[in-house]
Structure 1
């Protein structure tokens, strides 16, 4: 009897691949900035970072990223409570008077999209600051 229970448990764990239990599948992260006449979107996946901008200086570029860069981005994402992402309040309101561009963060995790509320470009809510800074550091090499 004990042997059959042990066999059942081993088969159950083998079928369910417990090594990935509790880990979320992060597909991409996007950081979008926009003003009245232009926008820029930085989209990062495990393979590359893409920059797409509109307006007077419209362009579209991409660059491969390393496994280490992707792991840095995903480690910052895992520190964020995605269920409260849209409720995070911006520390400043300069975008309301056109003193700063609007910015928004979007995460695709396990086929679900999580969006932040808007905030001033380069001045995100405190919980998002490390991730936004990491995105902007990566983006410097694409532009």
Structure 2
């Protein structure tokens, strides 16, 4: 009987922790922007929806994110330490001479904003590369 009780307690605690992680993502907003003189793209992910803006004078197109893609985003997001975003180094410097648009990742979580310094669009820092690529995929659909 003790073993059964211990097993059930372990399952409930594990389930509670995993559902807490989902709850954290519902209060999290991830925003990726890429801009230059003639280019503007903004992707905002919040609560399993995505909003994509392709141009400064265009309206955002909002759509629902399917469960499989959402799980990938949650997985990649969980690997990121938001406090370290501002210290990430860009792997290339093309944006300094208009060779690439300036990319930026911003995370708003629990009313606190975390933001990267600028990096070349298409060449994010390795630590956030998979998450940025998942976000950019929404503009290709």
Question: Counterpart in 1 of 2:7?
Answer: none
Question: Counterpart in 1 of 2:106?
Answer: 106
Q: TM-score, normalised by structure 1?
A: 0.76
Separation in 2, partners of 1:52, 1:135: 12
Find the structure with the greater CA-based Rg: 1
Separation in 1, partners of 2:39, 2:140: 18
User: Residue deviations 1:106-134, cap 9 Å, x none?
Assistant: 11222222111110001001101111111
User: Residue deviations 1:75-106, cap 9 Å, x none?
Assistant: 10111111111100000110010010000001
Q: How many residues align?
A: 125
Q: TM-score, normalised by structure 2?
A: 0.77
Asked whether the 8 Å contact 2:52–2:138 carries over to 1, the reply is no
Equivalent position SS for 1:25: helix
Equivalent position SS for 2:34: strand
Give the RMSD, CA atoms, in angstroms. Answer: 2.4
Give yes or no for the alignment of 1:84 onto 2:115: no
Separation in 2, partners of 1:132, 1:108: 15
Q: Which residues of structure 1 form unaligned runs of 5+?
A: 1-17
Q: Which residues of structure 2 form unaligned runs of 5+?
A: 1-14
Question: Counterpart in 1 of 2:128?
Answer: 128
Structure that is richer in helix per residue: 2
Give yes or no for the alignment of 1:19 onto 2:16: yes
Separation in 1, partners of 2:123, 2:59: 24
